[in-house]
Amino acid sequence: MQSATKVARRDATAASGDSVAILTLSGDIASTSKDTMLQAYHGVGAVKKVLLDFSGVDYINSSGIAIIIQMLIEERAAGHRTIGIFGLTPHFKKVFTMVGVSKYATISADEASALAEM
């Protein structure tokens, strides 16, 4: 019943000049997304800035948010990477803020503002 999660990677350059890997998510973001999302995240290589693009995502539940938190835990432990988020609906921007994700990842409205802020 759940729509499979897909992750597409592309590269961009932040306003700071740093390389950024943009992981564009689609499908449901739920407990079943864990392997797909973490594999994509681990596969970005040496890039120090990662943006998660949720503009094609309609469904996120708390288990899906926990996967983002898992990424933030890994980033914090390794201490070498910054994660940003864009493309959330106003509702999910509120939810991500409520659970505290916005304390550890910048949440931007769209790709242009996310790249400008990185």
Partner 1 sequence: MKNGSSVEVRLPSELGFEKIAMSTAAGMAALMGFSEDRIEDLKTAVAEACINAIEHGNRFDDRLDVGVVLSSNDDELEIKVIDDGGGLHSTPSAPNIDRKISGEEEPRGMGMFLIQSLVDEAEWHNGPPGKSFVRLVIRLDKENS
Binding site for partner 1 (CB under 8 A): 1-2, 28, 30-32, 59, 61-63, 65-67, 69-70, 72-73, 76, 89-91, 95, 98-101, 103-104
Helix (H) or strand (E) holding 84: strand 82-86
Helix (H) or strand (E) holding 68: helix 62-78
Least Cα distance to 86 among 49, 31, 32 occurs for 49
Of 65 and 118, the one with the shorter C-beta distance to partner 1 is: 65
The CB-of-9 to partner 1 minimum distance in angstroms stands at 23
Of 14 and 27, the one with the shorter C-beta distance to partner 1 is: 27
The CB-of-115 to partner 1 minimum distance in angstroms stands at 25
Least Cα distance to 86 among 69, 65, 109, 59 occurs for 109
Of 86 and 92, the one with the shorter C-beta distance to partner 1 is: 92
The CB-of-10 to partner 1 minimum distance in angstroms stands at 27
From CA 29, how far away is CA 117, in angstroms rounded?
Answer: 25
